Amino acid sequence: MILTGADLSNANLSGVDLSGKNLTGTNLTGADLSNAKMLDVNLTGANLQNADLRYTLLVDANLLNAILTGADLSQAVLSGAILTDANLEDAILTNAILNCIGHSICI
């Protein structure tokens, strides 16, 4: 399945394991990715505007130039994630974990 540049806007991907996938340039606007496992995923330039990323594991994810405006990253684990030039305007980061040291949820 080719996911690079795919239109997955408003898709229900809750709880899905997308670890190691290449989602470069993928449109995930409004998608439900809550509780998803996205370890070492490539989301370079992906559009995640208003996406639900609550409780998502984004460990070592590449979010270079990703659009995360209005995304809900509450309780998401972003340890080791690359956020260079990512747009996080109005993103919700309540209790998001940026460093896994001492957190039992981290793998």
Model confidence over 16-70: pLDDT tens digits? 999 999 999 999 999 999 999 999 999 999 999 999 999 999 999 999 999 999 9
Average the pLDDT over 87-91 and give the result. Answer: 96
Which one-letter DSSP state was computed for residue 27?
A: B
Where are the domains positioned within the chain?
A: 31-100
Handedness of CA 38, 40, 41, 45 (dihedral sign): positive
- pLDDT above 70 (res 102): no
Residue 38 and residue 14 in contact, taking contact as beta carbons nearer than 8 Å: no
Question: Is the pLDDT score of 106 beyond 60?
Answer: no
Burial of 54 (0-12, 13-18, 19+ CB in 10 A): buried
Angle at 91 between CA 88 and CA 35, to 5 degrees: 110
Rounded to 5 degrees, φ, ψ at 42 are -100, 110
Confidence of residue 85 (pLDDT cuts 50, 70, 90): very high
How is domain 31-100 classified at the CATH fold level? Answer: Pectate Lyase C-like (2.160.20)
